[in-house]
């Protein structure tokens, strides 16, 4: 009889350990994995929707205006008459110019 009670008592901490691991995995998913997947999805949508005239920044930090989009490549105009061709995947983000007054407020 005593062994049955001892076995029942040792089963409860194991349940807490399993619940603790499930909680840890849930926290990692919602605070690390899920936001990264959302960021990748947003970046893919941005690159897929590039169009002529968009101001962008490449991964290397080069600023330019999209002159044309052809398949997997993008031609950027970086200065008057200076055009460079990049892979779409090398486009990092949209270049937005903020007024200095708005940044200081």
Tokens encoding 22:
């499930």
Per CATH, the number for 51-105 is: 2.30.30
Write down the pLDDT at residue 104. Answer: 55
Write down the pLDDT at residue 23. Answer: 93
Q: What does the radius of gyration of the chain's CA atoms come to, in whole angstroms?
A: 26
DSSP class of residue 61 equals: -
Write down the pLDDT at residue 10. Answer: 57
| Residue 55 · residue 61 · CB < 8 Å | no
Report the predicted TM-score, pTM, of the whole model to 2 decimal places. 0.64
Flag residues of the chain having pLDDT under 70: 1-11, 97-105
Domain boundaries, the chain: 1-49, 51-105
Q: Give CA separation, 33 vs 21, 39, 40, 89, in Å.
A: 16, 10, 11, 21
């Amino acid at each position: 009889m005593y062994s049955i009670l001892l076995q029942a008592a040792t089963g409860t901490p194991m349940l807490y350990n399993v619940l603790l691991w499930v909680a840890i995995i849930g926290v990692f998913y919602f605070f690390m994995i899920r936001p990264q997947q959302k960021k990748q999805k947003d970046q893919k949508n941005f690159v897929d929707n590039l169009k002529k005239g968009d101001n962008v920044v490449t991964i290397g930090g080069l600023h330019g205006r999209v002159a044309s989009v052809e398949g997997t490549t993008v031609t950027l105009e970086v200065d008057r008459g200076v055009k460079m061709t990049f892979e779409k995947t090398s486009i990092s983000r949209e270049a937005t110019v903020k007024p200095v007054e708005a940044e200081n407020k």
